């Protein structure tokens, strides 16, 4: 609950923001006018459409999936992950909170790629999670298998703890898995329709455990209830480390606009700077205060309330118009739309069957990820820890075919 004095203390900053917005309004109107005259298709996007009519009017070519993958159109996963809060705020929330695991942060910093190629790494990771949630069984199982080889490169000595880090470590993998699935659901609750029913939430966490079969995690270790999830994150608090690297990379991700590519179309460019600020504020509004303090992200309570209401209204508008949703998705995460778009527009799969990741791994000849490529992983460890050499890049080129360019 906010005190009257705290609210009054925030009023001057709010008034300054309003004043600045009013000052910039004529320029915004000019840019909007120019964008609309150059891109009449924007107006067509705003026309309400649904069902088959929407699919016929889309300018983006979205192919049907080979099958319904691991969950399918009746799943809670598809319901929650397909809401626009996932690609706008949920996923970015996850990848920033993840940095508080010192081993994970060391693996990220060890490659240097996230700072140098933030946008590329962001969409590769998002595309992989979209494959797991929406993709057909074979490409999703194949991507998980290849990712074990790619992660075998991310090993070394953690500068914070002095111990070894390994991106395939099941404890770090579970941290990544849980921050993603929790963040997507939490942002759905905050910026979307609200809490699921008790039965739906139990199903969601059961599906989360099923998805863990694509990782080196033991699915039995995955929390299955809201209470267990809360307990999991509480247990992690003593292990979290807010290193300088964790703070600066989080700030870089939040302020870089990495959710948008460099070559956005002209009709979109005029709103992008404002959207970057809105998205950053929305993400910070979802951080618990101890995480805000650790990541050095300050924001007033008034801003939290305002930005949540604004973002909720924006995402509701996007969700209600499939043309607008797909167009924005194609701008923001085009390679992700290739594997998730069919779920957004309700395009049936060629074969309407689902299977578990374990069933898919057996069917297509892939090992359980915890046991996959053991000889290769030992070779990588010997190169890095035994010989002091750089790890092999084997597997990176193959990963580009599944989760995008490096």
- Model confidence over 164-212: pLDDT tens digits? 888 899 999 999 999 999 999 999 999 999 999 999 999 999 999 999 9
**What is the C-alpha separation between 75 and 68, in angstroms, rounded?**
10
With vertex at residue 195, the alpha carbon angle to CA 190 and CA 199, rounded to the nearest 5 degrees, is: 155
Within 8 A by CB and 6+ apart from 196, the residues are 76, 80, 185, 189, 204
Which candidate, 95, 103, 144, places its Cα nearest to that of 123? 95
**What is the C-alpha separation between 190 and 283, in angstroms, rounded?**
11
- Model confidence over 220-246: pLDDT tens digits? 999 999 999 999 999 999 999 888 888
Distances (CA, A) of 109 to 104, 166, 250, 320: 9, 13, 12, 39
**What is the C-alpha separation between 291 and 54, in angstroms, rounded?**
41
Within 8 A by CB and 6+ apart from 72, the residues are 78, 352, 354
Q: Would you tell me the crossing angle of helices 118-134 and 137-151 to the nearest 10 degrees?
A: 140
Mean of the pLDDT values across residues 63-87? 95
With vertex at residue 112, the alpha carbon angle to CA 108 and CA 116, rounded to the nearest 5 degrees, is: 120
pLDDT value for 404: 54
pLDDT value for 278: 92
pLDDT value for 58: 55
Report the range out of 44-53, 107-116, 360-369 with the highest average pLDDT. 360-369
**What is the C-alpha separation between 86 and 82, in angstroms, rounded?**
7
**What is the C-alpha separation between 133 and 288, in angstroms, rounded?**
26
Dihedral sign, Cα of residue 80, residue 88, residue 124, residue 249: negative
Which candidate, 140, 87, 49, places its Cα nearest to that of 330? 87
- Model confidence over 322-350: pLDDT tens digits? 888 888 888 788 888 889 999 988 899 99
- Give yes or no for residue 133 having a pLDDT over 60: yes
Looking at the chain, the whole-number percentage of residues with pLDDT higher than 70 is 80
Which candidate, 318, 286, 340, places its Cα nearest to that of 82? 340
What is the pTM (predicted TM-score) of this model? 0.84
pLDDT value for 48: 44
Mean of the pLDDT values across residues 11-39? 42
Calculate the average pLDDT of the chain.
83
pLDDT value for 19: 44
**3-class DSSP state of 234:** helix
CA terminus-to-terminus distance, the chain: 45
Identify which has the larger pLDDT, 162 or 197: 197
pLDDT value for 60: 60
Contact 223, 233 (CB under 8 A): no
Q: What is the 3-state secondary structure (H, E, C) of 42-54?
A: HHHHCCCCCHHHH
pLDDT value for 399: 57
Q: How confident is the model at residue 22 (pLDDT cuts 50, 70, 90)?
A: very low
- Give yes or no for residue 21 having a pLDDT over 90: no
Q: Would you tell me the crossing angle of helices 244-256 and 118-134 to the nearest 10 degrees?
A: 80
- Give yes or no for residue 382 having a pLDDT over 60: yes
Write out the two tokens for 399.
Answer: 């990963």
Element spanning 155, H or E: strand 155-157
């Amino acid at each position: 609950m906010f005190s009257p004095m705290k609210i009054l203390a925030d009023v001057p900053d709010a008034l300054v923001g309003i004043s600045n917005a009013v000052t910039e309004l004529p320029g915004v109107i000019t840019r909007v006018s120019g964008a609309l005259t150059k891109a009449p298709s924007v107006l067509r996007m705003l026309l309400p459409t649904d069902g088959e009519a929407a699919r016929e009017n889309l300018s983006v070519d979205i192919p049907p999936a080979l099958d319904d993958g691991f969950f399918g159109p009746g799943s809670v996963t598809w319901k929650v992950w397909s809401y626009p809060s996932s690609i706008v705020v949920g996923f970015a929330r996850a990848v920033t909170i993840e940095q508080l695991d010192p081993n994970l942060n060391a693996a990220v910093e060890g490659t240097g790629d996230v700072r140098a190629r933030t946008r590329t790494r962001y969409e590769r990771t998002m595309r992989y999670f979209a494959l797991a949630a929406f993709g057909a069984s074979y490409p999703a199982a194949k991507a998980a298998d290849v990712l074990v080889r790619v992660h075998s490169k991310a090993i070394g000595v953690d500068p914070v703890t002095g111990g070894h880090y390994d991106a395939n470590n099941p404890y770090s993998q579970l941290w990544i898995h849980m921050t993603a699935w929790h963040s997507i659901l939490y942002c759905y609750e905050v910026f979307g329709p609200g809490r699921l029913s008790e039965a739906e939430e139990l199903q969601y966490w059961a599906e989360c455990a099923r998805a863990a079969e694509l990782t080196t995690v033991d699915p039995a270790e995955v929390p299955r209830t809201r209470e267990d999830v809360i307990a999991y994150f509480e247990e992690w608090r003593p292990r979290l480390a807010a290193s300088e690297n964790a703070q600066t990379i989080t700030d870089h991700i939040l302020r870089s606009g990495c959710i948008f590519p460099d070559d956005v179309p002209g009709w979109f460019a005029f709103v992008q700077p404002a959207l970057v600020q809105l998205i950053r504020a929305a993400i910070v509004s979802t951080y618990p205060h101890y995480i805000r303090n650790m990541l050095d992200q300050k924001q007033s309570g008034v801003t939290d309330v305002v930005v949540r209401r604004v973002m909720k209204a924006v995402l509701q508008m996007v969700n209600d118009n499939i043309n607008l949703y797909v167009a924005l998705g194609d701008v923001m995460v085009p390679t992700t739309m290739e594997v998730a778009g069919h779920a957004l527009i309700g395009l049936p799969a060629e074969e309407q069957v689902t299977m578990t990741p374990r069933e898919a791994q057996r069917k297509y000849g892939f090992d359980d990820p915890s046991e996959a490529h053991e000889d290769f992983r030992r070779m990588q460890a010997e190169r890095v820890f035994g010989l002091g050499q750089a790890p092999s890049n084997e597997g990176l080129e193959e990963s580009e075919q599944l989760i995008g360019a490096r």
